[in-house]
């Protein structure tokens, strides 16, 4: 179900970029696109979400939570809500929106629209047509995600995921917190699954951060077993922590 939603959202993003003749970074103008769709943008307290879209017969509004301090995150949230409107996603019922997220996630398909809007958003904010050629470097590490993050004004998490989506190399971006995997985005060729909720192995550099809040931030070659099973080769890990959030982003690469 998610796979098809991702394929459809990517195709929709390409059409969107074609329609707006987006060739270069400066052509990505989210606020003007929102205005073209007659959307009013608001900012305010929003406890339960980062952003909200409210469309009625007469008005369209996007409300951004004033908890979002990061500019890249604001852009992502705005585009994400615009994606829901453009992709004509059906709303969840009010009573469902008022139930805790854990209970809501158990409903089959409840997250498809979110996956679809996220995919559309990252494909528009970091367009494949502009960055694909940079996603196949000689050595995969966090250098390209850092560069794209600055250039395209998105978070390092968004750019790292985007690199794994577009890279022909065997790589993955892993986000961890409290010593466990929160999510992992693998490239099509990675051929391993690093599951959400898995505890980081002691050999992984990222695990050091959760031991003593220190982390070697250079790209390092390790035995592949530090991260994956059934691969005797080496893996390259390049990790960076967020002291503020107590998280680590790791870019993994299995050189051929």
Give the footprint of another protein on this chain (CB under 8 A).
Answer: 19-23, 27, 29, 31-36, 40-59, 61, 63-64, 77, 80-81, 84-85, 89-92, 94-95, 97-101, 104, 113-114, 117
| Least distance to another protein, CB of residue 140, Å | 28
Q: Which residue number, 2 or 42, has a Cβ lying nearer to another protein? A: 42
Output 236-242 pairs: Cβ under 8 A, ≥24 positions apart. Answer: 236/139, 236/140, 236/141, 237/204, 237/205, 237/206, 238/141, 238/142, 239/205, 239/206, 239/209, 239/215, 240/142, 240/156, 240/215, 241/209, 241/213, 241/215, 241/217
Q: Which residue number, 49 or 222, has a Cβ lying nearer to another protein? A: 49
| Least distance to another protein, CB of residue 205, Å | 28
| Least distance to another protein, CB of residue 133, Å | 16
Determine contact, residues 148/162, Cβ cutoff 8 Å.
Answer: yes
CA dihedral of 168, 172, 173, 174, whole degrees rounded to 10? 170
Q: Which residue number, 58 or 212, has a Cβ lying nearer to another protein? A: 58
Listed in order, strand segments (DSSP E) in the chain are: 39-44, 51-55, 60-65, 171-177, 180-186, 220-223, 234-242, 247-253
| Least distance to another protein, CB of residue 114, Å | 7
- Residue where the block lists tokens 């997250």: 111
Task: Kindly state the tokens that stand for 177.
Answer: 């917190």
| Least distance to another protein, CB of residue 1, Å | 18
Q: Which residue number, 61 or 220, has a Cβ lying nearer to another protein? A: 61
Q: Which residue number, 223 or 246, has a Cβ lying nearer to another protein? A: 246
Task: Kindly state the tokens that stand for 55.
Answer: 């469309």
- Report CA-CA distances (Å) from 255 to 95, 144, 222: 49, 16, 11
Q: Which residue number, 80 or 170, has a Cβ lying nearer to another protein? A: 80
List CB contacts of 67: < 8 A, sequence separation 6 or more.
Answer: 46, 50
| Least distance to another protein, CB of residue 185, Å | 17
Q: Which residue number, 44 or 230, has a Cβ lying nearer to another protein? A: 44
| Least distance to another protein, CB of residue 107, Å | 13
């Amino acid at each position: 179900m998610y796979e098809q939603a991702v394929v459809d959202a990517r195709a929709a993003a390409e059409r969107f970029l074609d329609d707006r003749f987006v060739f270069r970074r400066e052509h990505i103008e989210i606020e003007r696109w929102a205005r073209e769709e007659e959307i009013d943008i608001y900012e305010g307290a929003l406890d339960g979400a980062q952003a909200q879209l409210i469309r009625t017969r007469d008005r369209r509004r996007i409300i951004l939570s004033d908890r979002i301090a990061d500019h890249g995150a604001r852009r992502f949230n705005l585009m994400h809500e615009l994606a829901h409107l453009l992709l004509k996603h059906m709303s969840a019922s009010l009573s469902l929106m008022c139930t805790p997220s854990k209970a809501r996630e158990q409903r089959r398909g409840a997250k498809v629209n979110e996956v679809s809007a996220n995919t559309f958003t990252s494909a528009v904010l970091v367009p494949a047509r502009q960055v694909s050629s940079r996603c196949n470097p000689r050595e995969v590490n966090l250098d390209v995600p850092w560069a794209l993050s600055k250039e395209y004004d998105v978070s390092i998490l968004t750019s790292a995921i985007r690199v794994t989506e577009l890279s022909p190399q065997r790589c993955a971006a892993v986000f961890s917190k409290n010593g466990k995997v929160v999510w992992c985005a693998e490239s099509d060729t990675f051929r391993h699954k690093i599951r959400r909720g898995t505890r980081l192995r002691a050999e992984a550099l990222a695990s050091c951060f959760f031991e003593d809040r220190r982390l070697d931030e250079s790209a390092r070659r390790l035995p592949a077993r530090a991260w994956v099973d059934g691969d005797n080769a080496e893996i390259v890990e390049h990790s960076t922590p967020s002291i503020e959030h107590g998280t680590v982003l790791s870019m993994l690469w299995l050189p051929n």
